[in-house]
Amino acid sequence: MFDLSKKRWQWTAMLFMAFVWGASFILMKRGLDALSYVQVAALRIFVSFLILLPISIKNLKLLNHQNFWPLLGCGLLGNFFPAFLFTLSETQISSSLAGILNGLTPFFTVIAGLLLFKHRPNAFQSIGVLIGFVGASILITNGNFSSFGHVNLYALLVVLATMMYGINSNIIRFKLSGLTGVQITSLIFFLIGIPAGIILISTDIGAAMQHPAFATSILATIVLATFGSVITLFVFNNLIHHTSAIFASSVTYIIPFFALLWGILDGDHIGALQIVSLVIILIGVYLSSLRRKPKLL
């Protein structure tokens, strides 16, 4: 019924992912009410691993020496490390700011495609990358470029995560084209789930259980794992195969708007600087997604 080879379903998938991933930032924030950033990230990955385990076991026969390293790379760069980077960043920055900076993903998709897979960007994409970095720089420095001391290091953690997302999208597009989105998602969580579980049990869960918001934090993280990791990654990985890495990662056009909406509903303060930066980033992202038009004969 859901045919991602058709445009209307591609855009439906985009809106669905933007809505869910836009909510992910506030779910991470709620998880942090009682849990540490390590616990939220590790629990998110481990719950995803458990949900996918029956599918993972079924798909283990597909794992071979050719796709093992690309799958591990996707697991680490597309899920494992970003999960910890985002939760650590949100201990010091708002969920709305994290959502806006997440919009840099298409830029790094273009850059990773060029550097790692020789997929050369056109003039629009190059200009878009530069404009996007201007918008991100305003947020990271709080609008003050005169001193490195004004750099928001926690915002840089989000930028690092989007770099990893950009590499991940290209790996899926160029190295894992023979696998479906469900197969990719199940196998990458099989590879990273047990390490996440080991990290989780090594933390002080007992202290977190004494917090009055413990149940709410656990529920928020489970919802985050189910929708923000498992279901949306099924859709995202399939969408890459039916379109392109750049198109699929362009879901981050829309994510900041949902992230801002969820953040406002949760009480985040949104200033003019954030709005201006968002507009600049979105202009850059739009340009970076443009493909070179064929020449007329």
Residue range 56-113, pLDDT digits in tens: 999 999 999 999 999 999 999 999 999 999 999 999 988 878 887 887 787 788 788 8
Pick the range with the lowest mean pLDDT from 141-150, 161-170, 218-227, 235-244: 141-150
The verdict on pTM exceeding 0.85 is: no
Residue 180 lies in a domain: yes
pLDDT band at 11 (very low <50, low <70, confident <90, very high): confident
Q: Average pLDDT over the chain, rounded to whole?
A: 83
Spacing of C-alpha 181 from chain mean position: 16
pLDDT in tens, 258-272: 777 777 777 766 677
Tell me what pLDDT residue 180 has. 86
Rounded CA separation 43/182 (Å): 21
Tell me what pLDDT residue 297 has. 35
Residues for the chain: how many in total?
A: 297
- pLDDT average, residue stretch 133-140: 72
Cβ neighbors of 83 (< 8 A, separation 6 or more) are: 41, 42, 44, 45
Residue 186 lies in a domain: yes
Q: Is 232:51 a contact under the CB 8 Å cutoff?
A: no
Residue 295 lies in a domain: no
Residue 1 lies in a domain: no
- Is residue 229 over pLDDT 50? yes
pLDDT band at 294 (very low <50, low <70, confident <90, very high): very low
Rounded CA separation 21/143 (Å): 27
Residue 270 lies in a domain: yes
Tell me what pLDDT residue 157 has. 94
pLDDT in tens, 109-134: 878 888 887 766 677 767 877 787 77
- Is residue 147 over pLDDT 50? no
pLDDT in tens, 240-257: 777 666 666 667 667 777
Rounded CA separation 258/136 (Å): 18
**Total domain count for the chain?**
1
Residue 160 lies in a domain: yes
Residue 190 lies in a domain: yes
Q: Is 242:64 a contact under the CB 8 Å cutoff?
A: no
- Is residue 32 over pLDDT 80? yes
User: Among the ranges 74-78, 226-230, 233-237, 280-284, which has the highest mean pLDDT value?
Assistant: 74-78
Tell me what pLDDT residue 160 has. 95
Residue 76 lies in a domain: yes
- pLDDT average, residue stretch 29-37: 96
- Which of helix, strand or coil describes residue 268? coil
* Residue 111: domain span: 7-289
Spacing of C-alpha 203 from chain mean position: 25
